[in-house]
Homo-oligomer: A and B are copies of this chain.
Amino acid sequence: MARPRKPLLSRDRIVEAAGELVDAEGLEAVSTRRLAAALGVSGPSLYNHFRTKDAILEAVADAVSARVDLSMFDGVDGPSDWRPALHAWAHSYRAALADHPNIVPVLARGPGRRPAGLRLADAVFGAMTAAGWPPAQATRIGALMRYFILGSAVASFAQGFVDDETAYDPADYPHLGQAHLLADRRHEVDEGAFETGLTALLDGLTLQYEALRPEPPRP
């Protein structure tokens, strides 16, 4: 066959298959030939729909961003709204990344020109300024939340340790006696740390917010 009457491929089909391959086997497993084979097509065909392999991965990443709920920012317009919105958003964001951890390194490169990534950045910034944060602070909040959430997805703590008791010699690492157990409890550990960190972050931001708009002095 040369050209079929109905196109065999579409951008959507390619992105879907690429996403499945990334989820199942990781970023390194995605080659144009492997992906094409999964779609029943030859390697170079993909280049009729995307300029590069990287553009395909960007599209996969953006599809993940698109699943992050932003609706909690809609009603934000005062001092009492921003905290719960940020909390709910952070959890939605993290959940989306946890569903597709292998693509996170691509997301970490930034929104660039990816529409869903940009919508996300726009929504946070808009909501924080609406809540009364000065623009420079709103930018910082968007940035630091990004650090924490992406960091939690890309730099899992528990998963970073090896499930091998002998790897952690007490003579070298006196406090890592239990570290080999982390791998087993990794969801528990990483989720606990995420919630603890998120709460600390929001508590700390609340202090800064209150310092920004001081209570009227009591008589």
Interface residues of A (CB under 8 A from B): 105, 107-113, 115, 117-119, 121-122, 125-126, 129, 136-137, 139-144, 146-152, 154-162, 167-168, 172-176, 179, 182, 189-190, 192-194, 196-197, 199-205, 207-208
What are the 3 A-B residue pairs with the smallest beta carbon separation, nearest first? A110-B160, A151-B151, A200-B204
CB distance from A87 to the nearest CB of B (A): 13
Tell me if A147 and B152 are in contact (CB < 8 A). Answer: yes
| Beta-carbon contact of A146 and B155 below 8 Å | yes
Inter-chain contacts of A107 with B (CB < 8 A): 155
List of B residues within 8 angstroms of A151 by Cβ: 146-152, 154-155
Q: Tell me, in angstroms, the Cα distance from A113 to B162 when the chains sit together.
A: 7
Partner of A140, one of B115, B119, B193: B193
- A69 and B24 CA atoms in complex are apart in Å by 38
Are A156 and B110 in contact, CB atoms less than 8 angstroms apart?
A: yes
